[in-house]
Amino acid sequence: MAQAYMTEPGQGHNPGQAGSRAARLRNWWRPDGMWRRGIVLAVLAVVLGLLMILHARIPNTVGNLGSLLETFLPWVGLGIPLLLVAAVLRRSATALVALLLPAFVWVNLFGSQVTDKAGEGGNVTVVTHNVSVDNPDPAGTAKDLVASGAEVVALEELSGDALSTYRQGLAKAYPYHTIEGTVGLWSKRPLSDTRPVDTKMGWNRALRATVTASDGQQFAVYVAHLPSVRVNPQKGFTANPRDASAKALGEAIAADPVKKVVLLGDLNGTMNDRSLAPVTSQMRSAQGAAGDGFGFTWPASFPMARIDQIMMKGMSPVKAWVMPSTGSDHLPIAASVKI
């Protein structure tokens, strides 16, 4: 007669448990395994990294796409945390490893911009501000600019009605000034050799002047407001007039006999934009050398790009910062400079 044997719980052979372990082992190498899962996410991560590495290779022949990308290049990094969340939810080791590429590239390109590089020793403070033709409070904006204590103030987008307000509001603090078209320069120190600068626009939106500092040293100041750019669904990034003006401005600065030069203005482009190379190739950015953070200036309500610039050659930026909002759609920026 057959006898029945009972086993204690947890003892003996459990075919179901062994099958489960085998299934997990097989799944490791199947497409839904952690190393085979998330291939699409991994590809997207690599593409994101290559987009930042090769941004200068993206042509401008179709809709100036290269310049459009370079204008907002730091924001491409937002794809990294988005892909990271997706990779974690997908439990994909491959995607996580692939994300190291764009993360490394972004840090290499922009890591230095998130640190404070401000120093000491500046002997001249300069400010530039696109005050906007739609500014509802030019008098208040003038007071804010005076309160900055800057020795030199450049203004862009000056309109007829508001111009007299700025003249009156800045006159006491800045006894020297010059205006050409819609741009102006105010200074606590004497100005000389003032003249308009032809930027191929048909009307004056740039000027040049020589400033004599308190110690007798002289430096040239350029104030410029380059043409605006637009994103058009049919035409793409319409920036050709700006690019032509940037070329003319760069040639004027390069030909200036004064070796110490400061450029102040709204260039409607960032330092990353290759189309501003006629200017950026010969000058250094105060924000890039001595700023704290990205220093975005536009739009004032939610700054996404630094299109207002303080650049120089033959002089050393010591500190650069973004000033509080005024009534303009741009934020004013300032820099302390060592002559």
CATH of domain 124-338: 3.60.10.10
Give the domain ranges of the chain.
15-114, 124-338
Instruction: Tell me the mean pLDDT in the region 104-123.
Output: 92
Q: pLDDT: is 223 or 201 the higher one?
A: 223
User: Which residue shows structure tokens 């759609």?
Assistant: 329
Instruction: Tell me the mean pLDDT in the region 241-252.
Output: 96
Q: What is the pLDDT of residue 7?
A: 46
> What is the pLDDT confidence band of residue 2, given thresholds at 50, 70 and 90?
very low
Bond into 196 cis (ω within 30): no
Q: What is the pLDDT of residue 243?
A: 95
What phi, psi does 256 have (nearest 5°)?
-70, 130
Q: What is the pLDDT of residue 16?
A: 55
**Which sign, positive or negative, has the C-alpha torsion 336, 337, 338, 339?**
negative
Instruction: Tell me the mean pLDDT in the region 318-330.
Output: 97
List Cβ neighbours of 150 (8 Å cut-off, separation of 6 or more): 125, 126, 127, 334
- Report helix, strand or coil for 118: coil
> What is the pLDDT confidence band of residue 15, given thresholds at 50, 70 and 90?
low
The rounded radius of gyration (Å) of the Cα atoms in the chain is 28
